[in-house]
Amino acid sequence: MEPNNLSLGFYPTPCVPLMRLSKELGGPQIWMKRDDQTGLALGGNKTRKLEHLLHDALASNADTVITAGAQQSNHCRQTAAACAAVGLKCHLLLGGVEPASFNGNLLLDHLFGATIHFTGAERKGERIARIAEDLEKAGSRPYVIPYGGSNPIGASAFVHAAREVKSQLDELGLSIDRIIFPSSSGGTQAGLIAGARMHGLQSEIIGVAIDKEEAGDEPFAHHILAMANGTNRLFNKSDAFTLRDVVLRDEYTGGGYGVVGRLEREAISLTASLEGILLDPVYTGRAMGALIDIIRRGEIAKSEVVLFWHTGGTPALFPYASELVDSDSEFLGQRKGPRA
Ligand SMILES: *Cc1c(COP(=O)(O)O)cnc(C)c1O
């Protein structure tokens, strides 16, 4: 695959131990890869993908980028910022209807100068082709980035991220048994699966599914598998993966995408109050909740080392304020006041 020379973030992102959370849970040692600190517009895993996607957009002489997501999409916010940084116009297709006031990621999309289309129940880019066609007719040269920035080009960024973390771990003299993170459009997982094998990272790669699968959808694991093999081909490696390489925990989808429950609230509260680190309500809160549950069930030996990949998303904390505070007194109260 061609070298990528578009830089939008600051790397390597830190890799840090979560000592107080590990101690509280009495389980394995937990480390965190801080991709919430990639540096572009409040950070997140999409910065990495966008370096490759916008490189491709510029190489194909596009002047406009179109992408899609939920109303509080981190991917759309990062895309809007990245387009601003390189001088591309940006059209976002966001689920839902226009709210009375803009907050969180939506506010930031607006500040970055993106053109926003509200698309109701269609938050996964169903209308992208139509809007691309309209823009073309009006004389633009649009470049379409799929929902979540997940295709082999976007996922290839996580092949490089696997190499990045491997060299950090080598420097620390640390070997990681498992890497766990939220998985939603699948590019992060596909790239890490491909990258781990290419760079000799021996960890189990575990995605925590964020979206409920709907009847008639292609099973998410199949989608990830196809993307991992497609990513491999970009690096001139032949198909190598099978479904056994796609480890997906799909029992934590709770009330569905973007619905905050007890699992997410406790994870956000524990990580904030014990580590001073913010998770997000939609993705990392759910994935950390899953990790905490898996540890409490005793599925991971105390002697193991686990890496939680913090994929970002913290700007969405603010629009979710009422779901995080009102019903949260059970967890907030627990941690009030100084602790030994
Ligand atoms: C997009 C996103 C994810 C999921 O990554 P995929 O590559 O789409 O699976 C996880 N966490 C956050 C904060 C995200 O914005």
Distance 21 CA to ligand 1 centre (A): 23
**CB of 283 sitting under 6 A from ligand 1:** yes
What's the token pair of residue 235?
């690096």
**CB of 72 sitting under 6 A from ligand 1:** no
Contact 229, 240 (CB under 8 A): yes
Nearest CA to ligand 1 atom 15: 74
Active-site entry in 7, 22, 60, 73: 73
Atom of ligand 1 nearest to the CA of 186: 9
Q: Give the mutation target among 79, 158, 184 for probing the ligand 1 site: most ligand atoms within 8 A of CB.
A: 184
Buried residues in 111-125 as b, exposed as e (16+ CB within 10 A): ebebebeebeeebbb
Cα–Cα distance, 118 to 268 (Å, whole number):
29
**CB of 281 sitting under 6 A from ligand 1:** no
- Residue 3 has a pLDDT of 55
Helix (H), strand (E) at residue 57: helix 46-59
* C-alpha dist (Å) from residue 183 to 112, 179, 222, 223, 283: 26, 12, 13, 12, 8
**CB of 285 sitting under 6 A from ligand 1:** no
* Known catalytic membership, residue 73: yes
pTM assigned to the model:
0.95
What's the token pair of residue 50?
């966008």
**CB of 311 sitting under 6 A from ligand 1:** yes
- Residue 300 has a pLDDT of 97
Distance 144 CA to ligand 1 centre (A): 18
Contact 141, 59 (CB under 8 A): no
**CB of 185 sitting under 6 A from ligand 1:** yes
Q: Give the mutation target among 94, 158, 181, 188 for probing the ligand 1 site: most ligand atoms within 8 A of CB.
A: 188
Show Cβ contacts of residue 265 under 8 Å, excluding neighbours closer than 6 positions: 285, 323, 324, 327, 328, 331
Coil, strand, or helix at residue 66? Answer: strand
- What is the length of the chain? 340
Cα–Cα distance, 284 to 210 (Å, whole number):
9
Atom of ligand 1 nearest to the CA of 183: 9
Residue 256 has a CB neighbour count (10 Å cut-off) of: 11
- Residue 30 has a pLDDT of 98
Q: In the chain, which stretches have pLDDT less than 50?
A: 328, 333, 336-340
- Residue 310 has a pLDDT of 98
What's the token pair of residue 318?
């603010």
Rounded to 5 degrees, what are φ and ψ at 178? -145, 145
Buried residues in 53-90 as b, exposed as e (16+ CB within 10 A): bbbbbeeeebebbbbbbbbbbbbbbbbbbbbbbeebbb
**Residue 173 per-residue DSSP state:** T
Cα–Cα distance, 280 to 286 (Å, whole number):
8
Q: What is the pLDDT of residues 59-90, one digit of tens each?
A: 999 999 999 999 999 999 999 999 999 999 99
- Residue 5 has a pLDDT of 76
What's the token pair of residue 76?
């759309």
Selection from 30, 16, 19, 31 nearest residue 295 by Cα? 30
Q: Give the mutation target among 42, 283, 308 for probing the ligand 1 site: most ligand atoms within 8 A of CB.
A: 283
Selection from 259, 264, 306, 269 nearest residue 284 by Cα? 264
> Whose structure tokens read 């950070």?
43
- My answer on whether omega of the bond before 146 falls inside 30° of 0, hence cis, is no
